[in-house]
Amino acid sequence: MLLVLLLLPMCWAVEVKRPRGVSLTNHHFYDESKPFTCLDGSASVPFDQVNDDYCDCKDGSDEPGTAACPNGSFHCTNTGYKPLYISSRWVNDGVCDCCDGTDEYNSGIVCENTCKEKGRKERETLQQMAEVTREGFRLKKILIEDWKRAREEKQKKLTELQAGKKSLEDQVELLRTLKEEAEKPEKEAKDQHRKLWEEQLAASKAQREQELATSAFQELDDDMDGAVSVAELQTHPELDTDGDGALSEGEAQTLLGGDTQTDAASFSDRIWAAIRDKYRSEVLPTDLPSPSAPALTEPKEEQPLGPSQPAEEEDEEEEETEEEEGGEEGEDEDSQETPPPVVPPQTVSPTEEDKMPPYDEQTQAFINAAQEARNKFEEAERSLKDVEESIRNLEQEISFDFGPNGEFAYLYSQCYELTTNEYVYRLCPFKLVSQKPKLGGSPTSLGTWGSWAGPDHDKFSAMKYEQGTGCWQGPNRSTTVRLLCGKETVVTSTTEPSRCEYLMELMTPAACPEPPPEPPASGNRDEL
Amino acid sequence: MDAAEKISVEDEAVDKKIFKDCSKIAFYRRQKQRLSKKSTYRALLDSVTEGKESTRFQIINEAAKVPLLAEVYGIEGNIFRLKINEEAPLKPRYEVPDVLTSKPSTVRLISCSGDTGSLVLANGKGDLKCHITANPFKIDLVSEEEVVMSINSLGQLYFEQLQIPPKQSRATKENEEDTSDDTTQENQEELGLWEEKFRNFVDVKDNGPASIGLDFSLHGFEHVYGIPQHAESHQLKNTSDGDAYRLYNLDVYGYKIHDKMGIYGSVPYLLAHKLGRTLGIFWLNASETLVEINTEPAVKYALTQMGPVAAKEKGRSQTDVHWMSESGIIDVFLLTGPTPSDVFKQYSYLTGTQAMPPLFSLGYHQCRWNYKDEHDVKAVDAGFDEHDIPYDVMWLDIEHTEGKRYFTWDKKRFPNPKRMQELLRSKKRKLVVISDPHIKIDPDYLVYAKAKEQGFFVRNHEGGDFEGVCWPGLSSYLDFTSPKVREWYSSLFAFSVYQGSTDILYIWNDMNEPSVFRGPELTMQKNAIHHGNWEHRELHNIYGFYQQMATAEGLIQRSKGKERPFVLTRSFFAGSQKYGAVWTGDNTAEWSYLKISIPMLLTLSVTGISFCGADVGGFIGNPEAELLVRWYQAGAYQPFFRGHATKNTKRREPWLFGEEHTRLIQEAIRERYALLPYWYSLFYSAHVASQPVMRPLWVEFPDELETFSVEDEYMLGSALLVHPVTEPKATVVDVFLPGSSEVWYDSKTFAHWEGACTVKIPVALDTIPVFQRGGSVVPIKTTIGRSTGCMTDSPYGLWVALSTKGSAVGEFYLDDGHSFQYLHQKQFLHRKFSFTSGVLINSCADKRGHYPSKCVVEQILVLGLKKHPSSVTSHSPDGKAQPVAFTYCAKTSTLNLEKFSLNIGADWKVQIQ
């Protein structure tokens, strides 16, 4: 609209006599031959009181050419440029407000008439703007067409995808069934295999225990009479039960189940279990394998030794992780205080029988078949997810408000950058705005897509991005993007008018209004 | 956001742990402890010698053994001065220089010895006497046979004489004596004699303890004022134990209100007022100072069981004031009044009057931390014109510089500062930029390099340059206490030196307490060393004063002595009024801070600093529209009128709060501009006659007890009573209109009330309750331009408000508004308007002045004219009589003279019949 007005030729060249500060349009209200009636009708004064530097009218209309009325307006003709109303309080205040200088006729300063020059510049600017608008609008129409087509294509693709999704879903269900079927024999075979191995393991353990008991018996049976007596037992004070450091006769007897001696069979059946943990072999000072040691482990996994070992190792792992995190944050001071006790992993290779033997051929075949079924199922499931994602994206894009004719659609999935002295600003329309220090460093979010934010009558002239990174002692960062008509799509400026509230300007053909019809080729436009 | 945040001290609320309370101040503890074991001083009156200027005698207390020297001076204008110092201190003790305008003229005191054991010193007329009692030592100030003040009557005289530092062998000695010293050591810590700890700071005191103290009993006084700066009520409160008023200049971001902690500036000057007499006590000491106040109100006869005589004794109220300082000497001036106006004159005789501000500085100032770049400045400047709001000065905070290097410009944001200033100049506006005392340590920064080379920085205890963190990071601090440093600093403002400066650029000194981010209590270590080898502790409170002094001098010098400077300072001391304006620092956008601005400014005003203001809108936080509007309305009627906001606040230029609020703010600022002739005349009166611009009611109504505690309203000069609205959603305010023989006129509605009553004034959001006192004439501008410079030639109006007797007087002052020609060439106009018996006369008030003005008085409004006049005639100097058109409104008893056009500087009269 503004543009239209500005382009209107101003071609009244005839000088009309009128009181100072009166516009041509109002000229007829000021008739020298009659008393002057205030424009608001509030009073009527003799005409010689017009511009007599005293305010008579409430609306200031009797003093259009002086500063006498606080609310009056002074009209500058500004021949060669645009006419202008200024506050009459600015008349003769020593500041040139009108380009023709008519507002300073009695303040002692001389104002240069700059209207011609300003008019020339203005015309140039207007011409440029008109050119930009024309070209921009042409591009905009293309953008609209492009989006129409693209939208249809996307709609088509969406339909396809939705159809495809159906069959994919069916396929996934089928594969799920196949997978479950293949997993059944797999499980049975594996269970069977494990059970066998466990039984084997238990048997060999019992045998080892028996051997131990036998050798202990032989050790204890000092007189080799085939029986262990109280006295023989007493040679092992570590078997003390009341904690006084010595194995009394009574204690020994109790150990022997109230008898004075025991033979090999009952020793291994009844007594060994009670004393094995304390018993120290006379030949081998090494610890005996504990019966409570973890027996069952998956094959291939390394077997840690000792009952307290696993817990310790967990601790260590945790501490290591903490240290790593600390290191990343650069807070490595504390970590030096308590270095974790570095325990070298005591990987004693487990005895052969602790390892589960490999699966037999049959079982392995079941496992392979099940794995194949699983892979197929998962692959199908992934494809389904991909399709669903594509559908969601397409639906979102198609339903997005890209302006009255979808002219802004082309900005979707694009990003534009502006580099300033300190930062690189990045605008990905309808998604986010960010700011990254030029000299490296991580980006700061200046907001994610919120809504169109232009005034009611021009909603698509601005975008709002909200909920960016929080400001130190301030609000979350947010950005308003003003859209300006331009031939190209480019971010032209970024400012921060209020702390953490950014303002960005994006030039785009999509913001170009429809230009007025081409002016007649040789219009008289000199008077602007 | 930029790096400044990282070193910011911003905390929305004050962390009071950063600052000391009395219990953490060693000299306070020492004085309290010592005074509990009384050991009184006596005067050795046989030692009296009468010098040319003073009467000297020794005083001694049995514990100290070494006598002190007391000197009593009589000073012109009914002032006494008492100095107490060591007779022969180990080394000289600090005596505050540069505060007294010149050496005060002494008057000879006549000693008329009283009884034995006393000495009486009287002034020439004999109506004022110092009655000195020998044992215990006491001085009574007697005025016309009435004892108005007693000194040391409570025996709180305290003087730590300088001692030889405990030998370095102390440590070994302690070792020898083994455990026996444990308690002593603890005691040492408690007493903080040679070392004082606070948080993780240790103050090592090479000079040891040197504190002083003295008490003053004010007889019959219940109302005391002064000793700024505190965010407290105007009338000083009784101090409870450990809660003395503290005078120690500190940077307290978002200071707490109703608190006696020390903030940015200090004036160690207290006023006392009672019916019939006003007194002043000026304690000239620049070290950390504490003031305790205890008022015992009068006991009414009816309440006492005692006999009438006893009751009478008891019936007298009294206020005891106890001053304690960390160091220096006792140097105290007793200002004897007797009227408030006399006390103001006496004080300004000592410390100087308010500098005459350039006219533009009484306009509205627009500030923000920070206007980002030249484009921003241009846009804000244009915003004022677009919304037709007058303003005079654009301000730039620290971000305008290259990395907080003062005297430089950020080349990216302000590539062409001169062009920017030309833009402002074209609208007759000005620019103020900040210049702080800390100088970034950067050898490539010329100011730093030069100062470093010449040894111009404050030194640390170890002898190197003091280094502390402030806005630029690690910085050194210029030693403004040195005349050479000040001279050099002043020279930096020369146009040829300060690149990008022009003659419309003025200066703002901030952070000059000095603020040191990681220092004890956010300031400088007390054992830093200044010029003359004085420790920082001796002169801490005067540091900022000196910076403003040097800045103002620099601005004068750059104009070759022709132009008046404008310098705003945050830190100040007694006498700072000579150099410019002061504001109340980092306040908060809350109603309570708007409200407290009034007593804070009243206190500054009565202690000599008339040009003072509070940041409009509140520096910290975001004011809602209503608060902002009310703050503009209040600020328009306060002397220094500047909108300011900290960095992390929302933009709040006047037009950002919707059309209605824009209009209200515009209206408030325009009221300010309309009243500028009155403001300027008031400042002239402050400048030449020492009368504050903003006055508490008790100053104008010293005989009306009800006015003594009022602090929600005040007088602007003697003509306007202002009661700003400081409550949200107010619909009515209770305005107290003092004076039983007064009549008051509402400045908008012209409604009038008899005085000595409280009236309920309905208020809308556009109401600023302002009342003109009957008997006054207020000059105004009838047309408001976009800046004061644009209004030079615009016409005047006169508001004539008639007293109950139908008369009125008022004054008007005018000069070129910017130069010293008013002083050197007497180029000024000082007029007097008087209205009696229906005749208004414009006459010359000071024949020495001449200043041609083409301005006319075009409108005269007479309020309180009971009878409809039949004719009005003007009589110009040539004797020509002319009828004047008028309208009379019987309902409001208002006469409006229109189409009037007589020169403001000419003798004329207007007759109303």
Q: Is residue A8's pLDDT more than 80?
A: no
CA A77 – CA A67 distance, rounded (Å):
18
* CA distance linking residue B548 with residue B566, whole number of Å: 10
The 10s digit of each residue's pLDDT in A225-279 is 888 888 888 888 788 877 777 788 888 888 787 777 888 888 887 788 778 878 8
Find the closest chain A residue to B423 by CA distance.
A95
What domains does chain B contain, in order, with CATH numbers? 30-160+210-351 (2.60.40.1760), 776-912 (2.60.40.1180)
**Can you give the pLDDT at residue A343?**
44
By CB neighbour count within 10 A (0-12 exposed, 13-18 middle, 19+ buried), where does A152 fall? exposed
- Residue B91: is it exposed, middle or buried by C-beta count within 10 angstroms (0-12/13-18/19+)? exposed
**Would you put residue B893 in left (φ > 0), alpha (ψ -120 to 50) or beta?**
left
Portion 643-682 of B in contact with A at CB < 8 A? 647-651
Cα atoms in the Cβ-side hemisphere of radius 13 Å centred on B302: 0
Chain A residues within an 8 Å CB radius of B376: 497
Instruction: Answer yes or no: is A309 within a domain.
Output: no
Cβ B132 vs Cβ B139: under 8 Å = yes
Q: Are B796 and B775 in contact (CB under 8 A)?
A: no
Q: Which residues of B touch A421 (CB under 8 A)?
A: 412
Q: Does pLDDT of A4 surpass 80?
A: no
Distance between CA atoms of B661 and B884, rounded to whole angstroms?
39
- Burial label for B36, CB within 10 Å (0-12, 13-18, 19+), is exposed
The answer to whether B665 touches B630, Cβ cutoff 8 Å, is: no
With beta carbons under 8 A apart, name residues in chain B contacting A45.
Answer: none
A93 → chain B, closest CA residue: B790
Question: Mean pLDDT over residues B325-348, rounded?
Answer: 98
Q: How many residues does chain B have?
A: 913
Residue type, B638: Q
User: Per-residue pLDDT tens for A158-180?
Assistant: 999 998 898 899 999 999 999 99
Helices in B315-416 by DSSP H: which ranges?
A: 340-351, 374-386
Determine contact: B790 vs chain A, CB below 8 A: yes
A47's CB contacts (< 8 A; 6+ apart) are A30, A31, A32, A33, A34, A35, A36
Does position A157 have pLDDT exceeding 50, yes or no?
A: yes
Q: How confident is the model at residue A352 (pLDDT cuts 50, 70, 90)?
A: low
Residues 6+ apart with CB under 8 A from B315: B298, B299, B300, B301, B304
Q: What is the pLDDT of residues B366-401, one digit of tens each?
A: 999 989 999 999 999 999 999 999 999 999 999 999
Count of the separate structural domains present in chain A: 3
Q: Does A70 touch chain B (CB under 8 A)?
A: yes
Indicate yes or no: CB of B651 within 8 angstroms of CB of A498: yes
Q: For A275, how many CA atoms within 13 A lie in the half-sphere containing its CB? A: 30
Residue B99: the pLDDT is: 97
Chain A interface disruption, residue of B790, B794, B858, most A CBs within 10 A: B790
> How many C-beta atoms surround the C-beta of residue B37 within 10 A?
7
A95, B1: Cβ pair inside 8 Å?
A: no
Beta strands in B430-480 (DSSP E): 430-434, 438-440, 468-470, 473-477
3-state secondary structure of A379: helix
- A187 lies in some domain: no
What CA–CA distance (Å, rounded) separates B408 from B498?
A: 8
Domain termination site, one of A112, A142, A170: A112
Return the minimum-mean-pLDDT range out of A499-508, B176-185, B811-820.
B176-185
Distance from CA of A100 to the nearest CA of B (A): 16
Q: Is B500 on the interface with A (CB under 8 A)?
A: no
- By DSSP bridging, strand B106-107 and strand B110-111 are unpaired
> B494-498: long-range contacts (C-beta < 8 A, 24 or more apart)?
B494/B554, B494/B557, B494/B558, B495/B558, B497/B407, B498/B407, B498/B558
A167 assigned to some structural domain: no
Q: Which residue has the tokens 């006599």?
A: A17
Cα gap B866→B863, rounded to integer Å = 9
Residues of B in contact with A94 (CB under 8 A): 428, 789-790, 792
Question: Does the structure show a pLDDT above 80 at A518?
Answer: no
Give me the percent of chain B exceeding a pLDDT of 70.
94
Question: Could you give the C-alpha distances from B512 to A486, B231, B470, B548, B647, in angstroms and in order?
Answer: 51, 19, 11, 9, 20
Provide CB contacts within 8 A for B173, sequence distance 6+. Answer: B167
Please give the residue of chain A at the shortest CA–CA distance from B784.
A89
| B648/A473 CB distance under 8 A | yes
Helix B625-635 vs helix B658-674: crossing angle, to nearest 10: 10
ipTM surpasses cut 0.85: no
Cis preceding linkage at B136, omega within 30 = yes
Residues 467-506 in A contacting B (C-alpha not used; CB under 8 Å):
471-474, 495-501
State the smallest CA–CA distance between residue A90 and chain B in angstroms: 6
A65-79, A329-343, B38-52, B607-621 — which is least confidently predicted?
A329-343
Report helix, strand or coil for B5.
helix
Kindly state the tokens that stand for A175.
Answer: 């594969």
Interface contact flag, B648 A499, Cβ < 8 Å: yes
Of the candidate ranges A84-93, A252-261, B759-768, the one whose mean pLDDT is the lowest: A252-261
For the segment B506-529, the average pLDDT, to the nearest whole number, is: 97
Q: Residues with Cβ < 8 Å from A45, sequence gap 6 or more?
A: A35, A36, A38, A56, A57, A62
Mind telling me the catalytic residues of B?
510, 513, 586
The DSSP secondary structure of B158-174, one letter per residue, reads EE----PPPPTTHHHHH
Disruptive mutation site among B793, B897, B901 for chain A (greatest number of A CBs within 10 Å):
B793
Highest mean pLDDT among A33-42, A419-428, B239-248, B572-581: B572-581
Mean pLDDT of B304-332: 78
Q: pLDDT digits over A118-155, tens only?
A: 999 999 999 999 999 999 999 999 999 999 999 999 99
Contact B428 A90 (CB under 8 A): no
A54 interfacial to chain B (CB closer than 8 Å): yes
- A89 with B650: Cβ contact below 8 A: no
pLDDT in tens, A396-454: 888 889 999 999 999 998 999 999 888 999 999 999 999 999 888 889 999 999 999 99
Q: Do A472 and B1 touch (CB under 8 A)?
A: yes
Q: Are A387 and A161 in contact (CB under 8 A)?
A: yes
- Antiparallel, parallel or unpaired: β B828-836 and B808-815: antiparallel
pLDDT of amino acid A6: 45
pLDDT in tens, B392-408: 999 999 999 999 999 99
Q: Does A142 touch chain B (CB under 8 A)?
A: no
Give buried/exposed letters for B351-366 (b at 16+ CB in 10 A, else e).
bbbbbbbbbbbbbbbb
The whole-angstrom distance between A309's CA and the closest CA on chain B is 47
In this prediction, residue A120 carries a pLDDT of: 94
* CB-CB neighbors (< 8 A) of B412 in chain A: 421
pTM of the predicted model, to two decimals? 0.80
Between vectors from CA B489 to CA B488 and to CA B495, what angle results, nearest 5°?
Answer: 95
Task: Based on DSSP, count helices (H) and strands (E) in chain A, helices before strands.
Answer: 8, 14
User: What are the angstrom distances between the C-alpha of A447 and each of A399, A425, A481, A500, B55?
Assistant: 22, 12, 11, 10, 77
Q: Is residue A59 part of a domain?
A: yes
Determine the distance in angstroms separating the CA of A21 from the nearest CA of chain B, rounded to an integer: 18
The predicted model gives A93-102 an average pLDDT of 92
Mean pLDDT over A25-44 rounds to 91
Gyration radius of chain B over CA positions: 29
Q: What is the mean pLDDT of chain B?
A: 93
The pLDDT > 90 percentage for chain B reads 86
With bands split at pLDDT 50, 70 and 90, how would you rate the model's confidence at A353? low
Q: Distances in Å between the alpha carbon of B649 and those of A476, A522, B370? A: 13, 54, 10
Q: What angle do CA B264, B269, B272 make, to 5 degrees?
A: 130
Residue of B797, B400, B468, B391 lying closest to B632 (CA atoms): B391
Nearest to A89 among B426, B785, B858 (CB): B785
Q: Does A363 map to a domain?
A: no
Contact by Cβ (8 Å): B830, B808: no
CATH of the domain at A460: 2.70.130.10
Q: What is the pLDDT of residue B176?
A: 42
Q: In the prediction, which pLDDT does B179 show?
A: 42
Domain of A54, in residue numbers = 16-112
Across the interface, do A92 and B648 touch by the CB < 8 Å criterion? Answer: no
pLDDT of residue A339: 46
Q: Pick the residue of A56, A93, A107 with the most B CBs within 10 A to test the interface with B by mutation.
A: A93
Output the pLDDT for position A284: 55
CA B208 to chain CA centroid, Å, is: 33
User: In this complex, is the C-beta atom of B791 within 8 Å of any C-beta atom belonging to chain A?
Assistant: yes
Query: In 10 A of CB A519, how many CB atoms?
Result: 11
Does B784 contact A at CB distance below 8 Å? yes
Alpha-carbon distance B883 to nearest alpha carbon in chain A (angstroms): 17
8 A C-beta contact, residue B224 and residue B321: yes
Position A244 in a domain: yes
Residue A305 has pLDDT above 70, yes or no: no
| A473/B790 CB distance under 8 A | no
Tokens 């905070």 belong to: B397
A325 in a domain, yes or no?
no
Asked if residue A232 is part of any domain, the answer here is: yes
User: Can you give the pLDDT at residue B174?
Assistant: 44
Contact state of A54 with B793 under an 8 Å Cβ cutoff: no
Is residue B516 a contact partner of residue B444, using CB atoms and an 8 Å limit? no
- At residue B877, does pLDDT exceed 60? yes
pLDDT value at position B124? 84
